Amino acid sequence: MMIDFKNLNLSHLPSETEFEKKVNAFLEEWFSDKKTVSVQTSGSTGTPKIFEIEKRKMMASAEMTCNFLGLKFGDKALLCLPVEYISGKMMIVRSVVKNLILKVTEPSVKPLQNINEKIDFCAMTPLQVENSLEHLYWIKNVIIGGAAVSEGLKDKIFKTLGSKSTQRVFETYGMSETLSHIALKQIYPVSESFFTAFENVNISMDERGCLGIFAPHLTTEVLQTNDLVEIKNNNQFRFLGRIDNVINSGGAKIFPEQLEVLVKKEIPNEAVFIGRKDESLGQKLILIIEGQKSKEIIDKISKIPFEKSYHRPKEIIFTEKIPRTPNGKVNRIELKNIL
């Protein structure tokens, strides 16, 4: 399905698939007299919730992303994310705000497999990008969200696109409460270490070391997150990990997300560090790896130069499948429950 927002006629939009029906239902909600739309959170850090968001705030957020990327009237965008969540809804709103031409394709792990035309803008999850590398050259601007982009995936993007491509790939920082992302970090062709917040978004850090976000277009108060960060200047920060995920082992605080970056540089498998209750340590550092048990993988992990001795996992467990939320994020809560 292709939607030209310059010449939109809701009554003439096709609705052959369930996904097209969901897209059309959102458009009807968007162009109704109602001032808000319903959004569902992913549930990656707790119980999924549904809340109402003002349309004017979504439009302001969409404007910032489009301006940052230089998107303009008539550019072509691709929607391949579920519209139940803010990520999919915002792709539609950005198309409305800038009068983009929106190509709608069923969300899947291989959303680009049938694409054979140039696309100016697309938002994808890391898993979707991982399974679409050979078709990535069709997309001029890619933003990746929903989960952290591993070092392994970054390497694959560089190897696939080469060094002379004019394409741009960004990692996003945001959440449902910030109406998708409020900051971007370029990972191709330039590999940046810090996220850059959008114009008019102010960042701060509380006594825990967690990020505070003040965005006048979103709220009149500071949105306090549970994300541990390092702040470089008034609009740039590095994500260290969620305070909820910090593992206290023998009195030492361990940030699992930072260790996962090191591991994923060496192995292609999904890898997650968690803390398991231990009588002497309080929490014992465990590494969960998705896939069949492999001596080769264990040997590679044994050679990783972890900064601290207590960063090395006390136990490595292989599992057939690591649980994920419906939009692809690792579900650490469910993983702990399974163990």
Classified by CATH at the fold level, domain 246-338 comes out as GMP Synthetase; Chain A, domain 3 (3.30.300)
| Cα 114 from Cα 170, distance rounded (Å) | 23
| pLDDT of 235 strictly over 80 | yes
Burial class for 308, CB neighbours closer than 10 Å (0-12, 13-18, 19+): exposed
Beta strands in 47-190 (DSSP E): 50-54, 76-79, 101-104, 119-124, 139-144, 168-175, 180-188
pLDDT tens for residues 185-224? 999 999 999 999 998 899 999 999 999 999 887 778 899 9
pLDDT the model gives residue 48: 64
Band of the pLDDT at 176, cuts 50, 70, 90?
A: confident
Ranges in the chain annotated CATH 3.30.300.30 = 246-338
CB-based contacts of 59, cutoff 8 Å, min separation 6: 93, 96, 97
| Cα 147 from Cα 173, distance rounded (Å) | 9
pLDDT the model gives residue 165: 80
Other beta carbons less than 10 A from residue 170's beta carbon: 25
pLDDT the model gives residue 218: 78
pLDDT the model gives residue 42: 61
The answer to whether the beta carbons of residues 140 and 168 sit under 8 Å apart is: yes
| pLDDT of 317 strictly over 90 | yes
pLDDT the model gives residue 196: 95
pLDDT the model gives residue 147: 81
The answer to whether the beta carbons of residues 157 and 187 sit under 8 Å apart is: yes
| pLDDT of 43 strictly over 80 | no
* Cα-based torsion angle of the residue sequence 248, 254, 259, 260 in order, rounded to the nearest 10 degrees: 50
| Cα 274 from Cα 256, distance rounded (Å) | 7
Output the pTM of the full model: 0.82
Burial class for 240, CB neighbours closer than 10 Å (0-12, 13-18, 19+): middle
Ranges in the chain annotated CATH 3.40.50.12780 = 2-192
| Cα 29 from Cα 23, distance rounded (Å) | 10
CATH number for 2-192 (one of 3.40.50.12780, 3.40.30.10, 3.40.640.10, 3.30.2350.10): it is 3.40.50.12780
DSSP H or E stretch at residue 225: strand 223-233
The answer to whether the beta carbons of residues 274 and 335 sit under 8 Å apart is: yes
Q: What are residue 52's DSSP bridge partners?
A: 38
Cis bond leading into 323, ω under 30°?
Answer: no
pLDDT tens for residues 115-170? 999 999 999 999 899 999 999 999 999 999 988 888 888 999 999 998 778 899 99
Burial class for 199, CB neighbours closer than 10 Å (0-12, 13-18, 19+): exposed
Spatial CA neighbour of 30 closest among 5, 67, 2, 63:
5
